[in-house]
Structure 1
Amino acid sequence: MSGMLSFPRFRRLSTSVAMALAAAALALAAPAAAQEMRGHGGPVRALAVAPDGRLALSGSFDSSAILWDIEQGLAVTVLRGHDSSVNAVAALPDGRFATAGEDGRILLWRIGRAEPEARPVTHEAPVAALALSPDGQRLASASWDGTVRLAPLSGGAARVATTQRGPLNAVGFAPDGRSIVTGGHDGALRFVPLDGGTDRVVELGLPVNALAVAADGEIAAGLADGRVVVLSGTGQQRGEIRAAETPIVAVGLSPDGKRIAAAGIRGSVAIIDRATLAVERVLVGPGLPVWSLAFRPGTEELLTGGGDRLVRRWLASTGEHIGAVIMAKPSEALARLADHPGAEVFRACAACHTLDPDGGNRAGPTLHGVIGRRIGTAPGYDYSPALRGMDIVWTKETIARLFEIGPMAYTPGTKMPEQRVTDPEDLKDLVDFIAKATGAE
Structure 2
Amino acid sequence: MPLLLLLALLLAPPMVRAQELAGHGGPVRALAVLAGGGLASAGFDQAVILWDPAAGQARRVMRWHAGALAALAALPDGGLASAGEEGRIALWPTGGAEIPSKVLEGHAGPVTALAVAADGGLASAGWDGTVRIWAADGTARVLQGHAGPAAALAWTPAGLASAGADGTVRLWETAGGRVLAEFGLPLNALAALPGGALAAGGADGFVRILQPGGTVREWAAGPSPVVALAVAPDGGRLAVASMGGSAALWSVADGRLLHGLDGPGLPLWSVVFAADGRSLWTGGQDRRVRRWDAATGAPLGPLAGAAEPAPPEGADAEGARVFRACSACHALGADAGPMAGPSLHRLFGRRMGSLPGYAYSPRLARGDITWTRETVADLFTRGPDVVTPGTRMPVQTVGEPGDLAALLRFLEVATR
Q: For residues 181 and 112 of structure 1, what CA distance do their matches in structure 2 show? A: 30
Gaps of 5+ in 1: 1-29, 338-342, 420-426
Whether the 8 Å contact between 1:224 and 1:248 is mirrored in structure 2 is yes
118 and 400 in structure 1: CA distance in 2 versus 1, 3 angstrom threshold: same
1:216 alignment partner, SS class: helix
Aligned to 2:277: 299
169 and 347 in structure 1: CA distance in 2 versus 1, 3 angstrom threshold: farther
CA-CA distance at 1:132 after TM superposition: 1.2
Q: For residues 206 and 94 of structure 2, what CA distance do their matches in structure 1 show? A: 38
Matches within 5 A, 1:4-43: 34-43=18-27
Aligned to 1:386: 363
Gaps of 5+ in 2: 1-13, 312-316, 411-416
Aligned to 1:284: 262
Matches within 5 A, 1:325-404: 325-329=303-307, 352=328, 383-387=360-364, 389=366, 399=380, 402=383
Q: For residues 100 and 230 of structure 2, what CA distance do their matches in structure 1 show? A: 27
Q: Deviations over 1:26-83 (max 9, x none)?
A: xxxx97871422222222111000244x111111212121111221112222223211
1:438 alignment partner, SS class: helix
109 and 355 in structure 1: CA distance in 2 versus 1, 3 angstrom threshold: closer
Name which of 142, 153, 156 aligns with 1:160. Answer: 142
2:18 alignment partner, SS class: coil
Whether the 8 Å contact between 1:46 and 1:58 is mirrored in structure 2 is yes
Q: Deviations over 1:121-146 (max 9, x none)?
A: 4311110110112x233111011111
CA-CA distance at 1:281 after TM superposition: 2.3
Q: Deviations over 1:251-274 (max 9, x none)?
A: 111111112212122322122221
CA-CA distance at 1:376 after TM superposition: 7.2
Name which of 192, 205, 211 aligns with 2:171. Answer: 192
400 and 261 in structure 1: CA distance in 2 versus 1, 3 angstrom threshold: farther
Matches within 5 A, 1:136-155: 136-152=119-135, 154-155=136-137
Bigger mean CA deviation after superposition, 66-75 or 384-393: 384-393
Name which of 58, 76, 85 aligns with 1:93. Answer: 76
The yes-or-no answer on 1:256 pairing with 2:234 is yes
Aligned to 1:230: 209
81 and 303 in structure 1: CA distance in 2 versus 1, 3 angstrom threshold: same
Q: For residues 252 and 384 of structure 1, what CA distance do their matches in structure 2 show? A: 33
1:321 alignment partner, SS class: coil
Whether the 8 Å contact between 2:45 and 2:339 is mirrored in structure 1 is no
253 and 165 in structure 1: CA distance in 2 versus 1, 3 angstrom threshold: same
The yes-or-no answer on 1:309 pairing with 2:287 is yes
Aligned to 1:69: 52
1:294 alignment partner, SS class: strand
Bigger mean CA deviation after superposition, 250-259 or 227-236: 227-236
Question: Given the two structures, how large is their TM-score scaled by the length of structure 1?
Answer: 0.72
Aligned to 2:300: 322
Q: For residues 279 and 93 of structure 2, what CA distance do their matches in structure 1 show? A: 25
Aligned to 1:268: 246
Aligned to 1:205: 184
Whether the 8 Å contact between 2:29 and 2:270 is mirrored in structure 1 is yes
Whether the 8 Å contact between 1:367 and 1:438 is mirrored in structure 2 is no
Aligned to 2:224: 246
Letter aligned with residue 109 of structure 2: A
CA-CA distance at 1:116 after TM superposition: 1.6
RMSD between superposed Cα atoms in Å: 4.0
Q: What is the aligned-residue identity percentage?
A: 41
84 and 33 in structure 1: CA distance in 2 versus 1, 3 angstrom threshold: closer
CA-CA distance at 1:416 after TM superposition: 4.8
User: Between Structure 1 and Structure 2, how many residues are aligned?
Assistant: 385
2:86 alignment partner, SS class: coil
Name which of 107, 111, 118 aligns with 2:102. Answer: 118
Q: For residues 199 and 352 of structure 2, what CA distance do their matches in structure 1 show? A: 38
382 and 225 in structure 1: CA distance in 2 versus 1, 3 angstrom threshold: farther
The yes-or-no answer on 1:182 pairing with 2:171 is no
217 and 416 in structure 1: CA distance in 2 versus 1, 3 angstrom threshold: farther
Question: Given the two structures, how large is their TM-score scaled by the length of structure 2?
Answer: 0.76
Bigger mean CA deviation after superposition, 94-103 or 116-125: 116-125
Letter aligned with residue 244 of structure 2: R
Q: Deviations over 1:208-260 (max 9, x none)?
A: 122112132222222223222222245532112233x3222211111111122
